[in-house]
Amino acid sequence: MRIKVLLFFLFTMSLTAQNNAISPGEKLVYTASYNMSGILTDLAEVTMETSAVKTSKATLLRLKCTAATYSQWDDFFKIRDLYESYVSPKSLTPYLYKRDINEGSYYKYMKYTFSHKTKAAKSQLKKKNNYEVHKTVTISTGTKDIVSTLYNLRILDYSKMSHGAQKTFTILFDAKEIKGQITYLGREQISTAIGKKECYKLAIGSNQTQVLEGKNNNFLWLTADENKIPVYGKFKIPVGNGELKIKSAMGLKH
């Protein structure tokens, strides 16, 4: 019954939220760490960068995410990943997405060209040994790639949300549409490398029942200001926890 009542109050937000938090020239640097019983091991550096990209017809926003392992790990498992999304600066609607993964001896390249009018996305998959597959995938209204979805979290209005409010995203991943879900868990103050910050706490990827029963272990903290930058992430992995902690933030809009 309690769950039904909560579901009744489920918050539904508009899909066409306007970007007032992200501008070109922003650079966020994170440290990805592995935490086992409080002992931290730094693994990689993750960078999230924005820039303006001009074509003859329009100016788009390039959202770029890179992940690179620290030198001590390079001999064991070298990671050099590049994720890019070219989006509308106002609504963060993606038009082109690229994912270039180099992890150890594994290589994968994925590209989506979105056509929101025809509700289709052309995908291109490349792997080692000249393996290449082209597909056209039917997409729903508001389908986004993983990078633009991550940035979209920053243009939601959390100040009007109540505890337990949910938002579902449709994400195109590996040429398939998957559902992602966030649950707003209220405000929390946390200490970060860029100071003590009042944050919005979000649970990622699980349904509300799991979150409220304490079964969820994936959380993201966004600053409770106009920039809404992700400052801390905690993700459950089979043994221990994965953590994403902000190292520096430059070129913020506000």
156 binds other proteins (CB under 8 A): no
The H or E element that residue 100 is part of is: strand 94-103
Q: How far apart are CA 147 and CA 164, in angstroms?
A: 24
The correct pick among 6, 10, 15, 96 for binding other proteins (CB under 8 A) is 96
Burial of 96 (C-beta count, 10 Å sphere; 0-12/13-18/19+)? middle
Six token digits for residue 106: 């594994």
Question: In the structure encoding, which two tokens stand for residue 118, read together?
Answer: 């025809």
68 touches other proteins by CB under 8 A: yes
Mask 191-230, x = binds other proteins (CB under 8 A)? ----------------------------------------
- The tokens describing 209, both together, are 């029942």
Taking the alpha carbons at both ends of the chain, their separation in whole angstroms is 43
With binding defined as CB under 8 A, does residue 103 bind other proteins? no
Residue with smaller CB distance to other proteins, 113 or 181: 113
Q: Is 98 in the site for other proteins (CB under 8 A)?
A: yes
Closest to 66 (Cα-Cα) out of 24, 99, 25: 99
60 interacts with other proteins by CB under 8 A? yes
Q: Are 251 and 229 contacting, i.e. CB atoms less than 8 angstroms apart?
A: no
Residue positions counted in the chain: 254
Residue 117 as a binder of other proteins (CB under 8 A): the answer is: yes
Which 8-state DSSP code applies to residue 144? B
Nearest to other proteins of 86, 200 (CB atom): 86
Residue 128 lies near other proteins (rule: CB under 8 A):
no
With CB under 8 A as the rule, give the number of residues binding other proteins: 47
Least separation in angstroms between residue 221's CB and other proteins is: 22
Taking CB under 8 A as the criterion, the residue among 6, 23, 70, 192 binding other proteins is 70
User: Which of 109, 235 has the CB closer to other proteins?
Assistant: 109
Say which residues have a Cβ less than 8 Å from residue 212's Cβ, sequence separation at least 6.
6, 164
Q: What are residue 120's DSSP bridge partners? A: 115, 138
Bridge partners of 133?
125
Give the binding site for other proteins (CB under 8 A).
Answer: 31, 34, 36-37, 39-42, 45, 53-60, 62, 64, 66, 68-74, 76, 78, 80, 82, 84, 86, 88-91, 93, 95-96, 98, 100, 113, 115-118
